[in-house]
Amino acid sequence: MQTDVLIVGGAAIGSAAAFFLASQPDFKGKIHVLEQDFSYEKSATALSAASIRHQFSTPENIKLSQFGSDFLQNIEHYLAVNGEVPVVNFKERGYLFLATPDGLSTLQSNHVIQKIENVDVSLLTPTQLSSRYSWLNVDDLSAASIGNRGEGWLDAYGLLQGFRRKAVSLGVNYIQARVEKLQRSGRRIISAELTDGTRISFDKVINATGVGASALAKTAQIELPVEARKRTIFYFTSSATLENCPMVIDPSGAYFRPEGEGYICGIAPRAEDDVECDDFMIQHHLFEEVLWPLLAARVPGFEALRLKSSWAGHYDMNTLDQNVILGAHPDIDNLLFANGFSGHGLQHSPAIGRALSELVTYCEFRTLELGALGWRRVINNCPYLEANII
């Protein structure tokens, strides 16, 4: 079998790339997406907290998210098929980053960058916080940062299916199959081998396999510093009424936000426990021992709550600097990477899909300059750090 562009992995990133590439007026080739599991039940996309923020510390991450919000707000323009608009339920609501005296200077320096990048964000004093959010304990806080526009949350599965349906309507072929290896010859990948031994040749190939990305890269003799790191999300209800509740990011790293009739919350495990891992077992102790006490200290109304459900998924963690590794490796001309999102890939999927379509079509970025997120920093071991990781 032969195609022009093969996309391996058909969740948010692979399907966004397929959609944008199929929409590029200057791209005329065939596109195939190979996805090992059409249920997507283990994909990070389907298991995501599905939230979007502009409050990052690097201009690239901010701009990627700004396009993400714009995309969600104009989704019918991009993804309607025969007048049918995908249901993504984008709920626009800010992120509230809380800072103790220790975190104040980081909050302020992030704020400076965000303002330069036209993020609609405000710093709040503890007094302002109390008057906006009477349910919040501000005793230990020095300040907070709230996003006024563009941030919020959505239905990740709805977005994925929206990308996919539109891509199919534009002629993209989806096949349920797993790529076991890439065959490399010098500076090119010449084919992909599927589990049943079938080989597919192509002009260009995109690695959009999430936590599977480093295993696939290894078959082409490329070391990709991306590991699967488990994150558990807990859903609970509470009789407390939290008016106008944003996505709250506690100084401890714990987060919570409204979801349906209740709230979801989570926290990263301690660094020493945060190891490579591919099981989906719930980290129950995190809720009982870590999260609940933190939540109850921050919102006294959460002292009484009812844990209803939980699920675990995996970040594709870039162990160098927690930012995506985007584009071609300098040793291989026709293999493009978009891996290592480290927990912020869903919100960036529209902009990354567009960027990949430009790299395929023009061999350069056309709308957003994202060279800082390329392989060069990885090879030179020069992390491009994002200070605002949740």
Ligand X SMILES: Cc1cc2nc3c(=O)[nH]c(=O)nc-3n(C[C@H](O)[C@H](O)[C@H](O)COP(=O)(O)OP(=O)(O)OC[C@H]3O[C@@H](n4cnc5c(N)ncnc54)[C@H](O)[C@@H]3O)c2cc1C
Site of interaction with ligand X (CB under 6 A):
8-9, 11-14, 34-37, 40, 43-45, 47-51, 178-179, 208-212, 216, 231, 233, 313-315, 341, 343-347
Measured distance CA(120)–CA(123) in Å, rounded: 11
Nearer to ligand X, 32 or 344 (CB): 344
Name the minimum Å distance from CB 214 to ligand X: 10
Q: Quick one: CA torsion of 146, 147, 148, 150, rounded to 10 degrees?
A: -160
Nearer to ligand X, 48 or 66 (CB): 48
Q: How far is CA 380 from CA 17, 318, 341, 342, 359, in A?
A: 27, 15, 19, 20, 22
194, 2 contact by CB (below 8 A): no
Nearer to ligand X, 12 or 79 (CB): 12
Measured distance CA(361)–CA(23) in Å, rounded: 11
Name the minimum Å distance from CB 288 to ligand X: 18
Name the minimum Å distance from CB 74 to ligand X: 18
State residue 204 phi and psi, 5-degree precision: -135, 150
Name the minimum Å distance from CB 115 to ligand X: 22
Nearer to ligand X, 142 or 345 (CB): 345
Nearer to ligand X, 7 or 107 (CB): 7
Residue with tokens 């082409």: 220
* Residue of closest CB approach to ligand X: 345
Measured distance CA(296)–CA(303) in Å, rounded: 5
Residue with tokens 């200077």: 105
* CB contact set of 327 (below 8 Å; sequence gap of 6+): 336, 337, 359, 370, 371, 373, 374, 375
Q: Where are the beta strands (DSSP E) in 208-286?
A: 226-237, 247-249, 255-259, 262-266
Nearer to ligand X, 98 or 138 (CB): 98
Nearer to ligand X, 262 or 313 (CB): 313
Q: Which two tokens stand for residue 61?
A: 């991450």
Name the minimum Å distance from CB 161 to ligand X: 12
Closest CA to 336 of 1, 42, 17: 17
Name the minimum Å distance from CB 10 to ligand X: 6
Measured distance CA(52)–CA(69) in Å, rounded: 8
Name the minimum Å distance from CB 346 to ligand X: 3
Nearer to ligand X, 314 or 329 (CB): 314
Name the minimum Å distance from CB 373 to ligand X: 14
Q: What one-character DSSP code corresponds to residue 341?
A: B
Determine how β-strand 255-259 pairs with β-strand 262-266: antiparallel
